[in-house]
Amino acid sequence: MSPVVLQGKGLVRGRGRGPAMVTRQPVNFTAAMTKVPNMLPSRRAEICDRHHELHGRNVAGQVLVFPACIGSTHTGLVLLELVARGAGPAGLLVQAGDSLLVSGVVLADVWFDRVIPIVEYPGADLFDRVADGMTVDLDGTTGTITIL
């Protein structure tokens, strides 16, 4: 199968590649990542929101594909900690990015010289093109999404 290349909008620079972890549900990073089990190093990046379809899955090294983030201003701090500790996803591919999602990743880049790409792709076909487990390569500088 030939690679599929989509053009999105780069929100945060960087390159990331990994298996896609796909959800059609918005992600509340505060609810998902700030539970007691996340204090254990082996489970730091595990989604602990029992109401989310990704409950129990670990985002470390994955390209998280999701429609949007929801939740509080704490979202940025959750992502900052994950990225700074090297437990973050390989990249974020989102239909509708916002400042809460981007803030923590930008701070991890500035303060800790660690960055993961965030690419926005608002197309309705996103979830038809990317399935769970497919390898996705993100370029946050150009906004290029390559699905392998």
How does pLDDT run across 23-56, given as a tens digit for each residue?
A: 999 988 777 766 545 454 544 677 877 888 998 8
For the chain, the domain total comes to 1
Q: What is the pLDDT of residues 87-139, one digit of tens each?
A: 899 999 999 999 988 998 999 999 999 999 999 999 999 999 999 999 999 99
CATH number at residue 50: 3.50.30.10
Which pLDDT belongs to residue 44? 66
> Which pTM was predicted?
0.91
Distances (CA, A) of 44 to 27, 99, 107, 122: 16, 23, 19, 29
Cβ-count burial of 57 within 10 angstroms (0-12 exposed, 13-18 middle, 19+ buried)? middle
Which residue segment(s) compose the domain that 78 sits in? 4-147
pLDDT of 4 over the 90 cut? yes
Cβ-count burial of 20 within 10 angstroms (0-12 exposed, 13-18 middle, 19+ buried)? buried
